[in-house]
């Protein structure tokens, strides 16, 4: 991946006011219908990512200073991982691919709906529509390719969601006093970065995200072994045939 | 018992064998297609969606054939004995021209081992395949099934070419077991002494 071109989204929960303009803009651009969700326990709605919700503001309530309520707003969406578990496990060529900006995008015509990507994603992102085809945030690649901002970043009134050159975003955040961004190095760098003041856990994010071990083992060992194994079986058979030719029937009879 | 031909495999066993070999070829080829994103497969199947449908339904056929395989061969696998262990330790006599191996039953130890591989890998393949297909909701199960499906795949793509070789080129006269089902008595006595002896003593009693 050409690091110089790689784009990213930088999310700063401390600047987010929870207006959910991004959720609405995402729906508008991607022409996603609303979703009936019942009585939400808090303001978070829908409760989780959905086939009709690629981007979601999570509302986290916790005790704050002097007995006050502390309210955090954290955007959740596809992280556009540098080392993407979804792409690694995908069975259909072209169903998931990476744009030159570094976004992980999908092609529903190519997707065969096996849903393995949902198991291999460390962030539980891929969702499936009515036809069992993958859907998720695609970093508005259809907008960014034309030089426009992703719908969410375009709409955000506070700068809590920013889109730009990945390297520059990191540099700006560092200047603003963030020592290390979430996603700066995890999984060969995430395409969705977070500027956290406290531990990722406070913001409901997993520490040290990783592609599941079984998927890594499959990719590194089992997959090449299938070819090596077949080749070895054929080669061993040939070598054996030459080295220890079969006993012919006369010999069998002579032994009797 | 006259020195003629002796029936080693029944019609059902033979049909099951060839039906399974067809499903294996289709499932193996499409399996490699998914594993390595072989877009050339589209020449045959049109696209990966259709290839998936073919893979799944051949998988159903394969699963049924595995069940028959269990009924047909599990008793043989379970009859694995000391002679079989010694047979395997000697490489079944395949490692030198003059080897003399312990007497064998209707299936030799290698065939029992292969039947066991087919049963174990076949059941793992079928179960994990159905989980991936029909209940992809639970991620832990999905990952476990993906792993089991691929471990079994590796086992089968290694074991089956060896099976084909051992049952054809390496052992002249074997292939006819899965064609006509019968073998010459002398041939059977040489390779499956315990089986022939048991049959003969049974015939003597009757
Ligand atoms: S967050 Fe999940 S869906 Fe998005 S790129 Fe990473 S592995 Fe793929
Ligand atoms: S559901 Fe679609 S995108 Fe996901 S792994 Fe399967 S083919 Fe690939």
pLDDT, tens only, A43-83: 898 999 999 999 999 999 988 888 898 899 999 999 999 99
User: Residue B150 and residue A226: Cβ atoms within 8 Å?
Assistant: yes
Q: Give the residue numbers in A contacting B (CB under 8 Å), as ranges.
A: 89, 91-93, 95, 110, 112-116, 118-120, 124, 212, 214-215, 217-218, 222-223, 225-226, 229-230, 232-234, 236-237, 240-241, 244-249, 252-253, 255-256
* B96 contact residues in A (CB cutoff 8 A): 244
Q: What is the pLDDT of residue A248?
A: 63
Nearest to B147 among A91, A92, A214 (CB): A214
Instruction: Report the number of secondary-structure helices (H) and strands (E) in chain A.
Output: 9, 9
Per-residue pLDDT at A118 exceeds 50: yes
Distance between first and last Cα of chain B? 12
Closest residue by Cα to atom 2, ligand 1, is A121
Which residue reads 């059977």 in tokens?
Answer: B188
Q: What is the pLDDT of residue A255?
A: 44
Domain A7-34+42-80+146-203 has CATH 3.55.10.10: no
State whether the beta carbon of A126 lies less than 6 angstroms from ligand 1: yes
Beta bridge partners of A75: A57
Which residue reads 């508008």 in tokens?
Answer: A28
Q: What is the pLDDT of residue A253?
A: 47
CA B15 to chain centre: 13
Per-residue pLDDT at A137 exceeds 70: yes
- The pLDDT tens digits of the residues spanning A170-199 come to 999 999 999 899 999 999 999 999 999 999
Q: Taking a C-beta distance cutoff of 8 angstroms, is the pair A107, A94 a contact?
A: yes
- Band of the pLDDT at A220, cuts 50, 70, 90? very high
Closest residue by Cα to atom 5, ligand 2, is A90
Distance A13 CA to ligand 2 centre (A): 31
Distance from CA of A85 to the nearest CA of B (A): 12
Q: What is the pLDDT of residue A4?
A: 54
A240: Cβ contacts below 8 Å, ≥ 6 apart: B94, B165, B170
Averaged pLDDT for residues A207-222 = 97
Helix axes B11-35, B139-166, angle to 10 degrees: 120
How is residue B169 annotated by DSSP? T
Residues B136 and B130: their CA atoms lie apart, in Å, by 9
Q: What is the pLDDT of residue A249?
A: 55
pLDDT (tens place) for every residue of chain B, 206 residues total: 456 899 999 999 999 999 999 999 999 999 999 999 999 999 999 999 999 999 999 999 999 999 999 999 999 999 999 999 999 998 888 888 777 889 898 989 999 999 999 999 999 999 999 999 999 999 999 999 999 999 999 999 999 999 999 999 988 888 999 999 999 998 898 889 999 999 888 888 77
For an interface test with A, the pick among B136, B155, B176, B186 (most A C-beta atoms closer than 10 Å) comes out as B136
A98: Cβ contacts below 8 Å, ≥ 6 apart: A1, A84, A87, A104, A105
Q: What is the pLDDT of residue A244?
A: 87
Closest residue by Cα to atom 6, ligand 2, is A114
If DSSP codes are grouped into helix, strand and coil, which group holds residue B7? Answer: strand
- Domains of chain B, start order: 5-205 (1.20.950.20)
Per-residue pLDDT at A26 exceeds 60: yes
Torsion of CA A192, A195, A197, A199, to 10 degrees: 20
Residues A180 and A174: their CA atoms lie apart, in Å, by 7
User: Residue A247 and residue B97: Cβ atoms within 8 Å?
Assistant: yes
Pocket of ligand 2, candidates A97, A127, A134, A215: which has the most ligand atoms within 8 Å of its Cβ, to mutate?
A134
Residues A190 and A77: their CA atoms lie apart, in Å, by 12
Beta strands A56-63 and A161-165 are unpaired
CA distances from B50 to B54, B104, B188 (A): 6, 46, 46
Residues A101 and A80: their CA atoms lie apart, in Å, by 10
Distance from CA of B96 to the nearest CA of A (A): 6
* Ligand 2 atom showing the smallest separation from residue A128 Cα: 1
Pocket of ligand 1, candidates A76, A118, A123, A124: which has the most ligand atoms within 8 Å of its Cβ, to mutate?
A123
Q: What is the pLDDT of residue A89?
A: 98
State whether the beta carbon of A96 lies less than 6 angstroms from ligand 2: yes
Q: What is the pLDDT of residue A256?
A: 40
User: Residue A116 and residue B49: Cβ atoms within 8 Å?
Assistant: no
Per-residue pLDDT at A250 exceeds 70: no
User: Residue B146 and residue A218: Cβ atoms within 8 Å?
Assistant: yes
Q: What is the pLDDT of residue A67?
A: 86
Size of chain A in residues: 256
Residues A52 and A36: their CA atoms lie apart, in Å, by 11
* Domain range annotation of chain A: 7-34+42-80+146-203, 212-245
State whether the beta carbon of A102 lies less than 6 angstroms from ligand 1: no
Q: What pTM does this model have?
A: 0.91
Per-residue pLDDT at A107 exceeds 50: yes
């Amino acid at each position: 991946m050409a690091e110089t071109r790689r784009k990213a989204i930088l999310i700063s929960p401390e600047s987010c006011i929870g207006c959910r303009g991004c959720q609405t803009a995402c729906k508008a651009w991607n022409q996603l219908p609303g979703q009936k969700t019942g009585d939400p326990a808090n303001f978070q709605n829908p409760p989780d990512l959905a086939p009709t919700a690629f981007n979601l503001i999570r509302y986290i309530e916790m005790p704050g200073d002097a007995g006050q309520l502390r309210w955090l707003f954290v955007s959740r969406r596809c992280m556009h991982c540098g080392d993407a578990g979804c792409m690694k496990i995908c069975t259909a060529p072209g169903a998931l691919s990476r744009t030159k900006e570094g976004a992980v995008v999908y092609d529903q015509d190519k997707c065969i709906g096996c849903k393995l990507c949902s198991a291999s994603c460390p962030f539980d992102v891929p969702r499936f529509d009515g036809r069992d085809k993958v859907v998720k945030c695609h970093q508005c690649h259809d907008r960014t390719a034309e030089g426009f901002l992703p719908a969410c970043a375009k709409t955000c009134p506070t700068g809590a969601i920013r889109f730009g050159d990945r390297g520059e975003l990191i540099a700006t955040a560092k200047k603003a006093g963030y020592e290390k961004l979430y996603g700066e190095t995890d999984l060969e760098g995430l395409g969705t970065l977070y500027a956290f003041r406290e531990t990722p856990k406070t913001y409901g994010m997993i520490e040290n995200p990783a592609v599941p071990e079984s998927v890594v083992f499959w990719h590194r060992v089992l997959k090449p072994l299938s070819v090596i194994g077949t080749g070895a079986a054929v080669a061993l058979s040939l070598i054996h045939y030459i080295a220890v030719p079969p006993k012919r029937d006369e010999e069998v009879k002579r032994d009797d | 018992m006259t020195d003629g031909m002796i029936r080693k495999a029944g019609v059902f066993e033979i049909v099951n064998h060839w039906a399974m070999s067809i499903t294996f070829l289709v499932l193996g080829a499409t399996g490699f297609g998914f594993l390595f994103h072989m877009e050339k497969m589209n020449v045959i199947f049109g696209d990966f969606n259709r290839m998936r449908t073919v893979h799944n339904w051949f998988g159903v056929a394969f699963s049924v054939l595995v069940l028959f395989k269990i009924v047909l061969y599990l008793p043989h696998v379970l009859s694995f004995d000391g002679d079989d262990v010694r047979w395997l330790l000697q490489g079944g006599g395949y490692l030198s021209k003059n080897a003399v191996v312990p007497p064998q039953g209707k299936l030799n130890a290698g065939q029992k081992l292969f039947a066991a591989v087919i049963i174990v890998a076949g059941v793992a393949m079928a179960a994990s395949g159905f989980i991936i297909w029909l209940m992809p909701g639970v991620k832990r199960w999905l990952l476990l099934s993906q792993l089991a499906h691929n471990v079994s795949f590796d086992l089968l793509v290694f074991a089956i070419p060896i099976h084909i070789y051992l049952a054809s080129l390496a052992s002249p006269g074997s292939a006819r077991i899965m064609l006509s089902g019968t073998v010459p008595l002398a041939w059977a006595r040489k390779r499956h002494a315990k089986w022939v002896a048991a049959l003969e003593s049974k015939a003597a009693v009757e």
